[in-house]
Chains A and B, each alone.
Chain A
Amino acid sequence: MSMSMSMSTSGDLLSDEERLRRFASLTDRALAYLSTEDLLVELLDRLCEMLTVDAAVVLLMDESRSYLVTTVARGMEDAVRQDVRVPVGLGFAGRIATDMNAAILDDLHQEMVPDPLMRDRGFVSLLGVPLVSQGTVMGVLQLGSLEPRQFTQDDVQLLQSAGDRMAPALEARSSNEQRSAAVMLQRSLVPPRLPPVAGLSMAARYVPGEGGAVGGDWYDVFTLPTGHVGLAVGDVVGHGLWAAVVMGRLRSALRAYALSSLDPGEVLTQLDAKLRHFEPSQMATLLYGVLDPKLERIQLSSAGHLPAILAAPGGRSVDLDVPPDLPLGVSFGDPRRTTTVDIAADGLLCLYTDGLVERRGEHLDQGIARLRSTLHPGGDPEDACGSIMAALVGREEPRDDIALLVVKRELVQEHNALVVPAEPSALARIRVALRRWLAATDASDAAADDLLVAVCEAAANSVEHAYGPAGGTIEVSLELGDGEVTATVRDNGSWRPARGCGRGRGMLLMERCSDEVHIDRGTAGTEVKLYRRLWGDGDP
């Protein structure tokens, strides 16, 4: 170490001993045991003390690299709380970031430097150094004194050493934060539990890509008020937090548009317009399908996504022929197409992202062919997901993230049951379930209509008469017999006479729409049994 530091502007020169003491303070081994946050605070405190300044602050570049954001501060903590920002290239700190050089300002009031951070807080003399990691400026470390003073070259060197110590910790903190935020987001948006839908069973998998990196893949299953069921698997181009954020937005927007239109092509047209307007330069592929309330057919629209695979009973697994339109975010607003496909009972439908079928040095078609040969009709979706992941991923670490959704239309059950709260809003749910159950039988339309009316009138009676304000539940079940159906509507309430007038029509409808009605009003509740032949229309 030489003493030729005469270039320092002014001020006292330090002894070698003092200089060593200062640097030792920054390289103290005890610092290694602190968390990043505590390390930063501790270093800022030591700097304030050693250099006898009033404030020390770390400013970090924002995502767009247009602002320096006050991130950690001592002596001016309010700036962090107020989210004070300095435009890159302007002001004292802003210029340090663009010049990548240390800077000293003896008297802020003599210079016409716009500085929203320091001037308004009464600081007079400033010293700052760039925080550089892997050759890129990631922020600025800056000191401020309320009294006029002249910083020396020794002070600059000390601050730069502190900055060099902080930069890697800040870099690690930033990427850790991003990674855990992305993982949290992905977990909350791609839940392992899917909603229960009468007549469907389903299972799904999500696996992050290389090094645990989450990306923009997702799957979604939701029911609509009409009894339709929405299925989606999509892939936002890119990785990390930003891809996960865009995925989250697309997922919510898809659900919102799904409420206002049942046509998948129309929904994707709107979703595309939304993405192009609000997230320009983002791109995503998506396969979106809407099952009808009886679950007999699905309407699909593809935004540049890989084909779904259908394993129908008595046949081989096939790629669904859904002509893909352009991916979301790159189209010209042309209307998108919708394709309708029948789903037989016991059929399995598989939706996935490219991470599942893409392998190094292998053609995409080979991966898809392997997936087709792994999918069989009639199996359990949970088992199917298990065998697909075993066959296609195996022991390999996937390069890209993977989303997989398998949905099965269940066979006709001889006994179907549903429990709903005794509220008017439950009647629509009962109808959805009844239509689905009856569609799986060979009941005539007229018989199905009659059962719908009779069962719902019985359920409406329970809603109106069975319970006090505390409420209760209604159980509806359907038993398939030989050429006839027995429907049971049961509540646990105590029957009380109807209030109001003109309510006798419900009973009339129940009787006329069934072949036989048995009503059992016991102390434990009311049970209504309705019998109806599966064929024949009009009055029995």
Chain B
Amino acid sequence: MTQETLAVRSEEGGYIRLVLGGEIDMANADRLGNRMHTAIGNEVRGVVVDLTDVTYIDSAGVRVLVMLASRLNQLRVDLQLIVPPGSLTRRVVEITGLEALASDSS
């Protein structure tokens, strides 16, 4: 069974950081998507999704990130992805065109 972790941290200026870990695939992507949406309250001004500890992500995981990005865009909430260079996650993010959202660190 695919296992993910999610930790939520408050940051300055109304930002929150969602720290993801473990693996994300078809088996847990929807559940993780719901957990992330629930973690983002109405008062939040910006979201940082930290994928540094993610060891595997597939197209189902990418879909969840795209849906999150589009929802936050409607709400005028900033979104930033942290994806370490040279990682499997980086490669998947680049191929699927999510690069625009991604930075190496923050």
Contacts and interface: CB of A to CB of B under 8 A. Distances in A.
A399 interface: no
B90 to A, nearest CB: 10
A456 B96 CA distance: 16
A327 to B, nearest CB: 33
Contacts of A428: 1-3, 23, 25, 27
Contacts of A457: 58-59
A424 B95 contact: no
Contacts of B88: 449, 452-453
B92 interface: yes
A505 B56 contact: no
B19 interface: no
Residue of B3, B25, B56, B66 with highest tally of chain A CB at under 10 A: B25
A283 B27 CA distance: 42
A269 to B, nearest CB: 22
B44 interface: no
Contacts of A431: 23, 56
A513 B60 CA distance: 16
A323 to B, nearest CB: 31
Contact of A508 (B3, B91, B95): B95
Nearest to B95: A512
Interface string B13-27: 000000000010111
A424 B2 CA distance: 9
B91 A460 contact: no
Nearest to A500: B63
A509 B59 CA distance: 8
Given A428-B2, A452-B88, A505-B62, A460 B25 contact: yes
Contact of B25 (A449, A456, A502): A456
A464 B26 contact: yes
A392 to B, nearest CB: 41
A225 B66 CA distance: 28
Contacts of B60: 460
Contact of A424 (B25, B56, B91): B25
Contacts of A460: 25-26, 58-60
A187 B88 CA distance: 45
Given A457-B59, A460-B60, A502-B66, A509 B92 contact: yes
Contacts of B26: 424, 427, 460, 463-464
B82 to A, nearest CB: 19
Contacts of B3: 225-226, 428
A453 B92 contact: yes
Contacts of B56: 431, 452, 456
A424 B30 CA distance: 12
B53 to A, nearest CB: 13
Nearest to A507: B59
Contacts of B59: 457, 460, 503, 505-506, 508-509
A509 B66 CA distance: 15
A489 to B, nearest CB: 14
Interface in A437-475: 446, 449-450, 452-453, 456-457, 460, 463-464
Contacts of B58: 427, 453, 456-457, 460, 506, 509
A508 B96 contact: yes
B95 A509 contact: yes
A523 interface: no
Contacts of B25: 424, 427-428, 456, 460
A457 B58 CA distance: 7
B101 to A, nearest CB: 15
A425 B2 CA distance: 7
A503 B62 CA distance: 10
A449 B27 contact: no
A428 B28 CA distance: 11
Most A CB atoms within 10 A — which of B23, B62, B66, B88?
B88
A512 B25 CA distance: 18
Contacts of A505: 59, 62-63, 96
B27 A425 contact: yes
Nearest to A463: B26
Nearest to A505: B59
Interface in A193-213: none
Interface of B: 1-3, 23, 25-27, 56, 58-60, 62-63, 66, 88, 91-92, 95-96
Given A450-B91, A509-B92, 7 more contacts: A226-B3, A427-B58, A428-B25, A449-B91, A452-B56, A505-B63, A506-B59
8 contacts: A427-B27, A427-B58, A449-B91, A502-B63, A502-B66, A503-B59, A509-B92, A509-B96
Interface of A: 225-226, 424-425, 427-428, 431, 446, 449-450, 452-453, 456-457, 460, 463-464, 502-503, 505-506, 508-509, 512-513
The 9 closest A-B pairs by CB, nearest first: A424-B27, A505-B59, A449-B88, A506-B59, A428-B2, A424-B26, A512-B95, A427-B25, A425-B1
